Structure 1
Amino acid sequence: MSSHAMMRMIFLVVFLGWLMIWVMLPTKLYKNTWKPKLDSKLNSTYFAAQGTNLLVFSFPMMFIAAFGCAYLHFQKKSRASNSKSSGAVAFLKRPVLVMAPLGIVSALDLIFSAMFIALMIWSLANYLYVSFGHLHMDGDGEKIWQAKIRSVSLTLGYIGNICWAFLFFPVTRASSLLPLVGLTSESSIKYHIWLGHVSNILFVAHAIGFIIYWAMTDQMAEMIEWSKTYVSNVAGVIAIVIAIPMWVTSLPRFRRKMFEVFFYTHHLYLLYMVFYVLHVGDAHFCMILPGIFLFLIDRFLRFLQSGHRARLLSARVLPCGVVELNFSKAPGLYYNPTSVLFVNVPRISKLQWHPFTIASNCNMEQDKLSVIIKNGGSWSQKLYQEISSSNLDHLEISTEGPYGPHSDHFLRHESLVLVCGGSGITPFISIIREIIFQSQKPDFKVPRVVMICAFKNSADLAMLDLLLPISGTPAQISQLQFQIEAYITREKDQPNADTQKPLQTIWFKPSLLDSPISATLGPNSWLWLGAVVSSSFIMFLLLLGIVTRYYVYPIDHNTGKIYHFSYRALWDMFLVCACIFLVSSLVFFWRKKQNAMEMNQIQNTEVPTPTTTSGSWFCGADRELESLPHQSLVQATKVHFGSRPDLKKILFDLKESDIGVLACGPRKMRHEVAKICASGLAENLHFESISFTL
């Protein structure tokens, strides 16, 4: 067994052990036998009642997260190993269900969902069985059915806490946990959405249940009680009041129509987390600590990275409302195709961050990074107008990322079909550039590529000009098996080439305050991230032990009745934040200093003049910068006016044994492609959707 396989086996055993603890948690065996024994050995004067939960709930996932970073750093990047590992996961990623509320559901989604639903049902049944068997009566006048309502309400809160144990893993962009199972933060956003809906339903039911119970037993004053020795009811009320607007604004219909309201409201999660922890207490906080801990590390590192302005070199403005931003990047920054960069333009909005697929290829363009932005919403519309209509010579932009897949798994297919609509072409630009680069290797088997593009208007054909970088494209592109089928859905006739507006290139002046985009923690980001995770967690444990032993214990003596219940949770949150901020800042600024010393930054003293080029996608059109790669690309393109692609016929007519089908664009189109691949009529089709939405 190789060292990589052995490490994966260790991670799997630790993860299964962690899941087993969650399975056993609501049972009598854990409550009456395991927990007392663990508490007697682990709940020392250094950790009080948190010792057991820190070991059995926090340590396993932090172990996987820290050593998973080291594993990803040392993992070989050979195409063979990547193809093999991703090929095993690819079978589980095949769509098996396409539904409007859930989107495209793969076998992997069903497995995760079924396991989690089974865990919740199991926990609910066992919690109720144990609590009903030893029903606690709160007062002499309380009736049994009232006590059962209280017990059910409390159980719903426990089940919601299970959701929170998983809630933050999918939205932690720089985390080793997702790549270890072949996922990215973009592809797993739906898990966060599902968990968020389920947890909010449970917590609302939990709150309503207690309100009903308090109303029936004449204890409504309990709603505003902040107990010194037990959970704070008023903190829970505040938490649910914060959660409800976050939940309502995140519903699909509300989010699509009023995105900015959703965006700003969702940032209340910080207050929500604080009052939630104050409500559940320090012991339960340690049960859900790994997800929150890793998310805070990622969030703070993103904050540090976003504090530096990216050096914007140029912009290519297309007449169809698309702009390509070209940044300077550090030569050591490596990212895979379909990676994502988050962009903030303070001139438009100081708070809004938007994700865009990276179009450039780090192998072909070692000192440049490009993203393509379609004029679709209010933010992108303002950006397009700023660049195209004003005489800007400099634009301040902050970035976070890149984030993306850990491997270029699409290269393992014999043939590739890229189905896109409108701006959905952007992820495929990086894939095509990667294939062009890999084709120069003598031992690389070039897959046949068929791109099916659907555009509303002929002006959108200008986006095909972005398939190739401004410079550096090898002339051997004509040797690729490349075919583009472009469909113009709203125009029946080919327009006059003379009426087409030119593509404009705008160059920006450099600023001493700007710097090339680089990895957050340098070229060895995974290794340094593992150091941050392990060091900050160990520091947290040491400081928590010192505070508990030499400050809390002399007051409370582990009775839990003298030192304030909420103060313990405040100490936990403070120490978590302090350790993360201290360690992350030290590593980030030290690595930044080292990168500055190692990297020879290129200073541009002369700014090229703006240039324009005409489109190449109509008969008789002239191009000022004619080249063999562009000629080959135009020759491989066939434009269909006034029609839509017959996707079922196109896909079923492909005869290769292994065909990767990637879809990006409107939801209806992605769902149609997914249904075709999931129908079982063509076993050679392997589907993958690229999207931030369901």
Structure 2
Amino acid sequence: MASSGLIPLIRGAILLLALVVFLGNIMMWIIMPTDTYYNDWLPHILAATNSTFFGIQGPIMLDFTLPIMFIAVLGCIYLHLGKRNTSFTRSSERDRELGFMKRPMILKGLGIVTVIELTLFTMFVALCGWYFAEFLSYLFKEVPPRSMARGEKLWETKLDRVALVTGLAGNLCLTFLFYPVTRGSSILPMLGLTSEASIKYHIWLGNMTMALFTAHGILYIIYWAITNRLSEMLKWDDHFISNVAGEISLLCGLALWVTTYPKIRRKMFELFLYAHYLYILFIVFFVFHIGIGLTCIMLPGFYLFMIDRYLRFLQSRQKVRLVSARILPCEILELNFSKSQGLDYNPTSTIYVNVPTISKLQWHPFTISSNSNLEPERLSVLIKCEGSWTKKLYDMISSPTSIDHLQVSVEGPYGPATTNFLRHDTLVMISGGSGIAPMISIIKELIFISSTSKHKIPKIMLISAFKNTSYLSTLDLILPTSATSSNSGNLDLQIEAYITREKGHPNEKQEPLRTILFKPKASDSPISPTLGPSSWLFLAAIISSSFIIFLILLGIFTQYIIYPIDHNTSKLYSYAKKASMNMLFICFSIVIAASGAFLWNKKQNAMEEKQIQDMEELANKKTLNSLFDKDDVELESLPLEPVTKAINVHYGQRPNLKRILLEIRESKAGVLVSGPKKMREDVAAICSRGKTNNLHFESISFTW
């Protein structure tokens, strides 16, 4: 008990230490463009890090790389300790006092944001403005002598400086660009974020990055044109800035940027997806453009993303066991995968699915509708038939001559590090269409909590809007596929279903759920955690060991290759070769460390996978049918009555969300919404009103 009581204190200390280190890193960004940094700080930093092992990269990595890598390792330890400290604490008075900071607002161009998000975004824009203004002021001091030396007009040299500083400001945005899309990040969960919820930050940063880099390129082209130096565009300086590499990087970035336009992304998703792979060329030529020294300022984001990306690659090489599929009348598929009991995930988690027979490159995210506590050997996702990829998958599975085996790979699951729905008195869940999936996972989690603990379960109101009656079949999935303890407490569940395109109950009988059973191959594996049960500790080991390997290789290379050439000859070592070797060292270090951890855990999981396969081979068709047939589930042993008894169906109308939400009288009401953008914005607008202080809004939709 004493040790468990220390865990919150240790986690608090880790969080405080990480915050102090991060603020110190931000201070370096603030101070870097000033005279104080170059005249007072930099000489001392260079003197302290004067080494033949790292050269100019030494002080840069000390100031900008090591702090973030240290925070990432701290985050792993923080999250590992959090796994053993499950808390069901309710909201405190302080939480309610600060609740206004999380109130939603709708801003054109940014979508739904909270006061906290808007404040942080404003602070980041202010940091960019400060960075731009101070660097411009610093560089303008050398403009007159530079103009005289080049024979340029004063305004022409100033244009050159403005173009340079615009690119430097773009570097600041690029530094933070990759953190939101690092799915297995240890930094985002420390802030209470998930990669899915952080996609909008990636979009904001991406637009700012490309806008600044585009302005940087255009301004330099104008500058070269008016000074009759357009030949500079064809220059690849092996000992300074490479213009050709920068132009290639910019072109790749522009191609990627154009395809992110919302209409292109939604209507031509494949084009958007494939164009995004250009980020590899964008980064490689960016490194060639500015050199590896300056790149070390942005290295932490790249480095952590590469670790995550390689671990995803290793997981995606495995073929998973797809046990069955249920075909709902509303053209929605439920895919049921076998999973190891050691794989735990929280409600609202997502998983990325790839079906090579449809496309080897396309990975699509889907919300997990199952619960790892109630269904320890099964993982389920709901897939709505919309778009070419999902249409092909639906046709493949639902055809009369459906296949008996489907090769599938997955990445994930990814989701929140913690979820505490018990802090509310009432949970109002609002969904549209297939947005019901995360709501199902939350309800199942509350079913489990009610059956295993004495904590008060909040009253649940589920408001679902569907196009037609066939979508009501998705509500049947709320019932767990296996019985839970009959000792569970009562769950106060009210379901209001709105059928928007039908005036009344159709006369024709709805098609029943259809179950397709697959025959997994012996080589197919249950979905298991990539790095085992102690995944956060293994991730900390990968980050630490790979970076140490990188430093050792870099030190040897600098000491015995670069240093002798730079100091014994009149010509410096090639910037391009130095950048290439650094990228090679980084890739090698990550591959060695991550592969070792992955293979070790794969070996540990082999015995459990064998046991699961033996159990599935012994199961007969009747057993599998009963597993997914609702009529065979012993409803009286569940904490819920049949769902159909709890449903109020409203035909030919949409839910009056404003009336429903304003009628809630409980002091702590959580409002969760998952569905189309218009629905999310309508709910956010209602919750942002001054008279709704009791409503706590949270959008959990992935439809960004």
**Residue 310 of structure 1, CA deviation:** 0.8
Q: Could you tell me which of 102, 117, 127 is aligned with 2:125?
A: 117
Kindly tell me: are residues 173 and 678 of structure 1, through their superposed partners in 2, closer, same or farther at Cα, counting changes over 3 Å?
same
**Residue 57 of structure 1, CA deviation:** 0.1
Q: How does 1:444-523 map to 2 (within 5 A)?
A: 444-474=455-485, 479-496=490-507, 498-523=508-533
CA contact (8 A) 1:94 1:688 kept: no
Superimposed CA distance per residue, residues 262-285 of structure 1 (whole angstroms, 9 cap, x where no aligned partner): 000111100111000110111111
| 2:222 is the counterpart of 1:209 | no
- Taking the aligned partners of 2:570 and 2:531, their CA distance within structure 1 comes to 42
- Taking the aligned partners of 1:386 and 1:450, their CA distance within structure 2 comes to 36
**Residue 466 of structure 1, CA deviation:** 1.1
- The equivalent of 2:210 in structure 1 is 200
Kindly tell me: are residues 147 and 203 of structure 1, through their superposed partners in 2, closer, same or farther at Cα, counting changes over 3 Å?
same
Q: How does 1:367-378 map to 2 (within 5 A)?
A: 367-378=377-388
Kindly tell me: are residues 266 and 214 of structure 1, through their superposed partners in 2, closer, same or farther at Cα, counting changes over 3 Å?
same
| 2:260 is the counterpart of 1:260 | no
Kindly tell me: are residues 368 and 612 of structure 1, through their superposed partners in 2, closer, same or farther at Cα, counting changes over 3 Å?
closer
- The equivalent of 2:4 in structure 1 is none
Q: What secondary structure does 2:336 align onto?
A: strand
Q: Could you tell me which of 322, 336, 339 is aligned with 2:332?
A: 322
Superimposed CA distance per residue, residues 446-501 of structure 1 (whole angstroms, 9 cap, x where no aligned partner): 110000000011111111111123222555678211000000000011112x5211
Kindly tell me: are residues 258 and 476 of structure 1, through their superposed partners in 2, closer, same or farther at Cα, counting changes over 3 Å?
farther
- The equivalent of 1:9 in structure 2 is 16
Tell which deviates more after alignment, 558-567 or 31-40.
558-567
**Residue 40 of structure 1, CA deviation:** 2.5
Q: Could you tell me which of 287, 298, 302 is aligned with 1:277?
A: 287
Kindly tell me: are residues 481 and 664 of structure 1, through their superposed partners in 2, closer, same or farther at Cα, counting changes over 3 Å?
same
Alignment size in residue pairs: 687
| 2:359 is the counterpart of 1:352 | no
Kindly tell me: are residues 321 and 291 of structure 1, through their superposed partners in 2, closer, same or farther at Cα, counting changes over 3 Å?
same
- Taking the aligned partners of 1:395 and 1:365, their CA distance within structure 2 comes to 22
- The equivalent of 1:608 in structure 2 is 621
- The equivalent of 2:662 in structure 1 is 652
Kindly tell me: are residues 558 and 283 of structure 1, through their superposed partners in 2, closer, same or farther at Cα, counting changes over 3 Å?
farther
**Residue 83 of structure 1, CA deviation:** 6.8
**Residue 625 of structure 1, CA deviation:** 6.2
**Residue 80 of structure 1, CA deviation:** 3.6
CA contact (8 A) 1:90 1:686 kept: no
Which runs of at least 4 in structure 1 moved beyond 3 Å after TM superposition?
80-93, 473-478, 558-561, 597-600, 609-616, 623-632
Tell which deviates more after alignment, 139-148 or 243-252.
139-148
- The equivalent of 1:39 in structure 2 is 46
Q: What secondary structure does 2:427 align onto?
A: strand
What TM-score does the superposition give when structure 1 sets the normalisation length? Answer: 0.95
- The equivalent of 1:338 in structure 2 is 348
CA contact (8 A) 2:431 2:464 kept: yes
Q: Could you tell me which of 526, 531, 534 is aligned with 1:524?
A: 534
- The equivalent of 1:52 in structure 2 is 59
Q: What secondary structure does 1:309 align onto?
A: coil
**Residue 8 of structure 1, CA deviation:** 1.0
% of aligned pairs identical?
50
Q: Which amino acid aligns with 1:539?
A: I
- Taking the aligned partners of 2:124 and 2:25, their CA distance within structure 1 comes to 14
| 2:119 is the counterpart of 1:106 | no
- Taking the aligned partners of 2:101 and 2:87, their CA distance within structure 1 comes to 20
Gaps of 5+ in 2: 1-7
Q: Could you tell me which of 263, 280, 297 is aligned with 1:287?
A: 297
Q: Could you tell me which of 414, 419, 422 is aligned with 1:403?
A: 414
**Residue 538 of structure 1, CA deviation:** 1.1
- The equivalent of 1:578 in structure 2 is 588
- Taking the aligned partners of 1:409 and 1:354, their CA distance within structure 2 comes to 27
CA contact (8 A) 2:90 2:424 kept: no
Q: Could you tell me which of 539, 563, 573 is aligned with 1:553?
A: 563
Superimposed CA distance per residue, residues 345-393 of structure 1 (whole angstroms, 9 cap, x where no aligned partner): 1111111000001111111111111111111111111111111113211
- The equivalent of 1:421 in structure 2 is 432
- Taking the aligned partners of 2:289 and 2:634, their CA distance within structure 1 comes to 67
CA contact (8 A) 1:164 1:199 kept: yes
Gaps of 5+ in 1: 617-622
Q: What secondary structure does 2:179 align onto?
A: coil
CA contact (8 A) 2:481 2:627 kept: no
- Taking the aligned partners of 2:607 and 2:59, their CA distance within structure 1 comes to 46
- The equivalent of 1:65 in structure 2 is 72
CA contact (8 A) 1:89 1:182 kept: no
- The equivalent of 2:5 in structure 1 is none
Q: Which amino acid aligns with 2:224?
A: W
- The equivalent of 1:666 in structure 2 is 676
- The equivalent of 2:3 in structure 1 is none
- The equivalent of 1:627 in structure 2 is 635
Q: How does 1:179-194 map to 2 (within 5 A)?
A: 179-194=189-204
Kindly tell me: are residues 248 and 688 of structure 1, through their superposed partners in 2, closer, same or farther at Cα, counting changes over 3 Å?
same
- The equivalent of 1:298 in structure 2 is 308
Q: What secondary structure does 2:160 align onto?
A: helix
Kindly tell me: are residues 601 and 492 of structure 1, through their superposed partners in 2, closer, same or farther at Cα, counting changes over 3 Å?
same
Kindly tell me: are residues 633 and 476 of structure 1, through their superposed partners in 2, closer, same or farther at Cα, counting changes over 3 Å?
farther
Superimposed CA distance per residue, residues 150-190 of structure 1 (whole angstroms, 9 cap, x where no aligned partner): 00000001000001110000000111100001000000111
Q: Could you tell me which of 391, 416, 437 is aligned with 1:381?
A: 391
- Taking the aligned partners of 1:524 and 1:86, their CA distance within structure 2 comes to 33
Q: Which amino acid aligns with 2:139?
A: S
**Residue 91 of structure 1, CA deviation:** 3.2
- Taking the aligned partners of 2:235 and 2:354, their CA distance within structure 1 comes to 43
- Taking the aligned partners of 2:100 and 2:531, their CA distance within structure 1 comes to 33
Q: Which amino acid aligns with 1:30?
A: Y
Q: How does 1:66-85 map to 2 (within 5 A)?
A: 66-75=73-82, 76-80=84-88
Tell which deviates more after alignment, 133-142 or 478-487.
133-142
Q: Aligned-pair RMSD on alpha carbons? A: 2.3
Kindly tell me: are residues 81 and 5 of structure 1, through their superposed partners in 2, closer, same or farther at Cα, counting changes over 3 Å?
farther
What TM-score does the superposition give when structure 2 sets the normalisation length? Answer: 0.94
| 2:142 is the counterpart of 1:131 | no
- The equivalent of 1:540 in structure 2 is 550
Kindly tell me: are residues 304 and 79 of structure 1, through their superposed partners in 2, closer, same or farther at Cα, counting changes over 3 Å?
same
Superimposed CA distance per residue, residues 397-446 of structure 1 (whole angstroms, 9 cap, x where no aligned partner): 00000100011122321110000000010001110000000001342111
CA contact (8 A) 1:324 1:373 kept: yes
Q: Which amino acid aligns with 2:235?
A: E
**Residue 99 of structure 1, CA deviation:** 3.0
- Taking the aligned partners of 1:256 and 1:201, their CA distance within structure 2 comes to 22
- The equivalent of 1:620 in structure 2 is none
- Taking the aligned partners of 1:5 and 1:186, their CA distance within structure 2 comes to 25
Superimposed CA distance per residue, residues 541-576 of structure 1 (whole angstroms, 9 cap, x where no aligned partner): 111111000111111129994211222211211111
Q: What secondary structure does 2:188 align onto?
A: helix
- Taking the aligned partners of 2:69 and 2:369, their CA distance within structure 1 comes to 34
CA contact (8 A) 1:453 1:485 kept: yes
- Taking the aligned partners of 1:235 and 1:100, their CA distance within structure 2 comes to 36
Q: What secondary structure does 2:341 align onto?
A: coil
Kindly tell me: are residues 560 and 549 of structure 1, through their superposed partners in 2, closer, same or farther at Cα, counting changes over 3 Å?
farther
- Taking the aligned partners of 2:355 and 2:477, their CA distance within structure 1 comes to 22
- Taking the aligned partners of 1:429 and 1:416, their CA distance within structure 2 comes to 13
- The equivalent of 2:257 in structure 1 is 247
